[in-house]
Amino acid sequence: MKVIIADDYEIMSREAAKVVAAEIEKNPDCVLALPTGGTPLGFYAELVRMHKEEGLDFSRVTTFNLDEYLGLPETHKSSYAFYMYDNFFNDVNVNRDRVHIPRGLAEDPHEEAAAYEREIKKAGGIDLAVLGIGRNGHIGFNEPKTEFGSLTRPIYLAKRTIEANARFFDDDPDAVPRQAISMGIKTIMNSRKIILLANGPEKSGAIYQTIHGPVTDMVPSSVLQLHPDCTVFLDRDAASELKPPSDDVVQGPGIMSMVY
Ligand code: F6R
């Protein structure tokens, strides 16, 4: 896996945004998978800046969000749909017809998930998936013990995830929905390119296991070791437990790049 360690969160966010910009420049019709949460806020801010100041054009881009809570309308301020419009879509020229987010109020979540999977296929698959990571190694909302062959489906959130995400629900764990719809591990792994972002000391253990640990369903992100084109973007805190790389380290302004 390729690993980029940035001096700080801003540089990490900028470097990750550059990968998306390069993808769009290479293929203006590209299909992106997108995360929510605290980690990508700087990344979205940088993409918005690139759109406003450098003309980065999202008009032909198709997006699929990784997940959405079940039971929340998209108008709920803690829904991922609300997050995406608030932090990104409202500030760029994305075509709303090309935006896909599972519907939290879908009457039949299983059918919603199956339809989502069909839409991804119809769009030609995902060119670039952008991921965050949970403290327990979840990607999307694929919690430990998720099968690597899983597709988009309704899931139950792990207790640790509910606790971690209470900060987006006025610090009330009881307000966090217990279920969500998430892209599956297989759906994510079928993406042609993957980048994963992580910052802060609370992610260092999961990052160690993602990169150095065995590939195991107990740490869903460890499956990324099997992907042919995956790059992990870290700040120094998230990288603090990594072993020194055996290959050459390439230094750039504010970043170190290495392969494990
Ligand atoms: C959210 C998602 C999750 C988050 C993860 C980290 O769409 O897919 O996997 O990326 O829970 O969340 P933060 O960034 O808030 O620590």
Residue 143 a catalytic site member: yes
Ligand 1 atom nearest the C-alpha of 131 is 10
Which 3-state string (H, E, C) describes the chain?
CEEEEECCHHHHHHHHHHHHHHHHHHCCCCEEEECCCCCCHHHHHHHHHHHHHHCCCCCCCEEEECEEECCCCCCCCCCHHHHHHHHCHHHCCCCHHHEECCCCCCCCHHHHHHHHHHHHHHCCCCCEEEECCCCCCCECCECCCCCCCCCCEEEECCHHHHHHHHHHCCCCHHHCCCEEEECCHHHHHCCCEEEEEECCHHHHHHHHHHHHCCCCCCCHHHHHHHCCCEEEEEECCCCCCCCCCCCCCEEECCEEEEEC
Residue nearest atom 12 of ligand 1, based on CA coordinates? 37
- Which of 68, 117, 143, 235 is labelled catalytic? 143
Pocket (CB within 6 angstroms of ligand 1):
35-39, 66-67, 132-134, 138-141
Ligand 1 atom nearest the C-alpha of 203 is 16
Ligand 1 centre and the CA of 21: distance in Å? Answer: 21
CATH C-level class of 12-202: alpha beta
Beta bridge mates, 193: 128
Q: Give the pLDDT of the chain (260 residues) as one tens digit per residue.
A: 999 999 999 999 999 999 999 999 999 999 999 999 999 999 999 999 999 999 999 999 999 999 999 999 999 999 999 999 999 999 999 999 999 999 999 999 999 999 999 999 999 999 999 999 999 999 999 999 999 999 999 999 999 999 999 999 999 999 999 999 999 999 999 999 999 999 999 999 999 999 999 999 999 999 999 999 999 999 999 999 999 887 789 999 999 999 99
Identity (one letter) of the amino acid at 167?
R
Ligand 1 centre and the CA of 131: distance in Å? Answer: 8
- Which of 65, 136, 142, 199 is labelled catalytic? 136
Ligand 1 atom nearest the C-alpha of 36 is 7
pLDDT digits (tens, 9 = 90+) for 132-155: 999 999 999 999 999 999 999 999
Residue 67 a catalytic site member: yes
Distance CA 207, CA 199 (A): 10
Q: Please provide the distance, in angstroms rounded to a whole number, between the alpha carbons at the two ends of the chain.
A: 5
pLDDT digits (tens, 9 = 90+) for 167-215: 999 999 999 999 999 999 999 999 999 999 999 999 999 999 999 999 9
CA nearest 74: which of 96, 102, 41?
Answer: 102
Residue nearest atom 2 of ligand 1, based on CA coordinates? 140
Residue nearest atom 4 of ligand 1, based on CA coordinates? 132
- Which of 67, 68, 127, 235 is labelled catalytic? 67
